[in-house]
Structure 1
């Protein structure tokens, strides 16, 4: 029986696995190879690795992790998980199964973009959600916020620090009086005709097309897509879930322990704030907490 099965091999999962490996615990990292940031060519704001591609960051992380003799990497997608008398049982779509004393769910979230032509192919490049991650490279150029929830007003309010900003309500998310005052003070323009297409050559953006036929010049589009878990594992394990700003998040304590003893969560699936550094930090907490759980719940003789 494994000490821990880590489901998800990106920033959060690998950070968790490293703590467990250094604690000499047996770990399998099950990874489907589809990190959320795979659409981005560069990752920004990550300590010492600003501007490095997400794929290269992961490769740099895997190499030292796999040097630990208790760590194994398995490519696959977890499709079933359940609590057992001794721990947990997990099966993958590829037909493999594991028994483990603990679990770390670092599966991230799945983005669902609005059905606006020209958006999907630019996602993670010039159509983005976080100015701290990608805004500097698009600074001092016109940006359009495509509202997707009431929280989009906050997104529009911070963007003028990077350049001129237009807030498109999409006819659904009108700022209230207080929000309108804030946007006006920040110099944000308001557009109520919905964006119906994003235009430009390749991944570049030249303009957004509005429903009334007008075009607004733009070099970047910001939005907060709807998010989901992309799997049924949280439901199968009976984890407590609450509504986040863009979709559901797994409830966890300050050490990333979920409502089910032995299940730890880390990364975007358990945080309303989505950021590579925060995901990695959450993985460190989850891995350390899982190690402590194993220490307290299982006899040392059993581990030996």
Structure 2
């Protein structure tokens, strides 16, 4: 029996495995090799790894984990989970049956691409969600923001730390008059009409509208809805919290979920800003919390 099974081996999962491996706890990490930020050319804001490709960072992390004999990395999907604290069972897509005293869920979320031609093609490169991840590299350029709801108003306020050239695309959303007045005060134009297509041409992004017009920007920020990459939390009946873009697992300060012995980290349990720094921090916290919960 393992001490801990970690389901999901991106930044959060591997950070948890590192802490547990250094504690000489027996750990199995199950991972499908499809991290959320695999579409991004570079990852930013992670101390010591700024401006490195995310897949390169993860590959190096796996190489470093190889020095810990109690950590096993397995390329497999967890198909089902059952049991309770000190006696969890995990069945993989390869037909393997595993047992552990604790579980850490870090299988992340998957962004749900809108049915707009060109959106998926540009995701992670010319269409991005996070100014902390990509804002510095495109500072002072012309930014576009696809309005997704009330939370977009705060994005407008936030973006002005990087650029004074911002265009909002309403994309069919009704923007209240008071917010429109504030956008006008900030010299932020609003383009009406639903987005019909997004074209990528020579470093610029052309947002084509159903009305027939188009607006060119240097970078487009958008926040599509997301959903957990697996449904294991549903079969376990874990508590969740609603966010403007989807759901997240509810955890306490130790990253423990509503079911004792199960911890969660990364975007799956972060209702705020997605970040490799936060994912790594939360993963390390989950690993340490799981280890300390097994002390006698």
Q: TM-score, normalised by structure 2?
A: 0.95
Matched, 1:294 2:272: no
What is aligned with 1:144?
144
Contact 2:195–2:207 at 8 Å: present in 1 too?
yes
Contact 1:5–1:104 at 8 Å: present in 2 too?
yes
Change (3 A) 1:283 1:86: closer
What is aligned with 2:173?
172
Give per-residue Cα distances to partners, 1:56-91, cap 9 Å, x unaligned. Answer: 111121112121010000001111111247421111
What is aligned with 2:234?
235
Q: How many residue pairs align between the two structures? A: 294
Q: How does 1:29-68 map to 2 (within 5 A)?
A: 29-68=29-68
Distance 2:216 2:222 in 1: 17
Q: How does 1:1-304 map to 2 (within 5 A)?
A: 1-84=1-84, 86-163=86-163, 164-177=165-178, 179-201=179-201, 204-273=203-272, 274-296=274-296
Deviation at residue 132 of structure 1 after TM alignment: 1.2
Give per-residue Cα distances to partners, 1:192-217, cap 9 Å, x unaligned. Answer: 21221111237x43311111111111
Deviation at residue 292 of structure 1 after TM alignment: 0.9
Change (3 A) 1:206 1:225: closer
What is aligned with 1:301?
none
Distance 1:293 1:55 in 2: 32
Worse-matched range after superposition: 34-43 or 158-167:
158-167
Distance 1:40 1:182 in 2: 33
Change (3 A) 1:287 1:113: same
Contact 1:83–1:237 at 8 Å: present in 2 too?
no
Contact 1:266–1:286 at 8 Å: present in 2 too?
yes
Q: TM-score, normalised by structure 1?
A: 0.92
Unaligned runs of 5+ in 2: none
Contact 1:160–1:188 at 8 Å: present in 2 too?
no
Instruction: Give the secondary-structure state (helix, strand or coil) at the position aligned to 2:9.
Output: coil
Change (3 A) 1:49 1:176: farther
Deviation at residue 95 of structure 1 after TM alignment: 1.6
Q: CA RMSD in A?
A: 1.5
Distance 1:113 1:153 in 2: 22
Change (3 A) 1:46 1:85: closer
Instruction: Give the secondary-structure state (helix, strand or coil) at the position aligned to 1:157.
Output: helix
Unaligned runs of 5+ in 1: 297-304
Deviation at residue 106 of structure 1 after TM alignment: 0.7
Deviation at residue 151 of structure 1 after TM alignment: 1.3
Instruction: Give the secondary-structure state (helix, strand or coil) at the position aligned to 2:3.
Output: strand
Contact 2:204–2:217 at 8 Å: present in 1 too?
yes
Distance 1:81 1:280 in 2: 24
